[in-house]
Amino acid sequence: MNKWGQKTLSLVTKEDYLDRLQAIYPHEDVERDVDNETIESIRKAFKTKNNVALLNKLLDLEKFPYKDSYVGFLRKDRAAIKRNPRTVGRICGRLYDMGIEGVINGATSPKEANTRRGNQFQAWTRNAFKWLNKEAFRSSKKGIFMLDTTELEARNFCNTVMGVGISKRPDMVAKCDNNYVIGEAKFLSSTGGNQGRAFDDGIKLANNTSGNAYKVFILDGIHWIETGSDQFHRIEYGNSAVFSALLLAKYLKSIKK
């Protein structure tokens, strides 16, 4: 395990890791905003069991009350609602079984925390480090800075100036004196599904040997205590720089030396 991973493991298992991590990734219960008129329309369609009206109203919202594989298709093709009465009946039957309050609660439930974590990391780095536009960033020679530009320009900068050959902007593009550092930043609460793929993305970048930049995976969450998982073993038996965001400032300062 890389020494920064060892430092993180010690922090996670021996110190107030979670308490300190909330300064970077604060817990938020932010309900989706649905106006009262829409709520009343949903209640009316539910009460009268108007399947078409109920489904159309719910498909207009950001969040459908429950996960269903057919909802995405119906969002794209509303005419399919009238052509497929059995599918509509099945979906609405589930909605009626949930009860109107269950439907409303499902449609207004907070976004999953993992969809907000990237923005939280960016907001924290905005306060913790100085950001420069592309020209000032490239010409800087002394200090620690973050690149302030669009996703496309940041990705192109990483590929043309650093030569790292990536297909999307990393979560962090930094410069420490004359050294470039790029990294993915993830707060993960499980080892499977989308979060497993997010872990794979982070490790892939950290293991990237192309170009002239340091590559890191800024990882927080459950993986540091899931010692029997494949992901932990990839950290344990690898030598890439994988560490907590709480150690980012120390890591970047070490690059300056």
Query: Does residue 210 sit within a domain?
Result: yes
Supply the pLDDT for residue 113. Answer: 53
Count the domains in the chain. Answer: 2
Q: Which of 108, 123, 153 lies at the terminal end of a domain, its last residue?
A: 108
Domain-embedded: residue 251:
yes
Six token digits for residue 14: 């021996």
Residues 10 and 44 in one domain: no
**Structural contact between residues 159 and 168, judged by C-beta atoms closer than 8 angstroms:** no
Cα gap 48→91, rounded to integer Å? 16
Domain check: are 165 and 49 in the same one?
no
Give yes or no: residues 118 and 9 share one domain. yes
Residues 76 and 118 in one domain: no
Same domain, 123 and 231: yes
Q: Residue 112 pLDDT > 60, yes or no?
A: no
Q: Determine, yes or no, domain membership for 31.
A: no
- Whole-model pTM? 0.72
Same domain? 52 vs 162: no
213-221/172-176 β-pairing? unpaired
Domain that holds residue 50: 36-108
Q: Using CA atoms, how far apart are residues 236 and 227, in angstroms rounded to an integer?
A: 9
pLDDT for residue 117 is more than 80 = no
My answer on whether 204 and 126 are in the same domain is yes
In terms of DSSP H, where are the helices of the chain? Answer: 3-14, 17-21, 36-47, 51-59, 71-76, 80-83, 85-98, 100-108, 117-128, 134-139, 151-160, 193-206, 230-236, 248-256
Cα 224 vs. chain centroid, distance in angstroms?
A: 18
Co-location of 8 and 41 in the same domain? no
Contact present, 241 and 251 (Cβ < 8 Å): yes
Among candidate residues 136, 215, 226, 128, the one with its CA nearest the CA of residue 179: 215
Cα–Cα distance, 136 to 189 (Å, whole number): 37
Specify the pLDDT at position 119: 84
Q: Rounded to an integer, what distance in angstroms lies between the CA atom of residue 249 and that of residue 128?
A: 8
pLDDT at 171 > cutoff 80:
yes
Instruction: Please check whether residues 49 and 129 belong to one and the same domain.
Output: no
Q: Do 213 and 104 share a structural domain?
A: no
CA-to-CA distance for 79 and 203, rounded, in angstroms?
A: 43
In the chain, what percentage of residues exceed pLDDT 90?
A: 81
Query: Of the given ranges (30-39, 136-145, 201-210), which has the lowest mean pLDDT?
Result: 30-39
Domain boundary among 61, 85, 108: 108
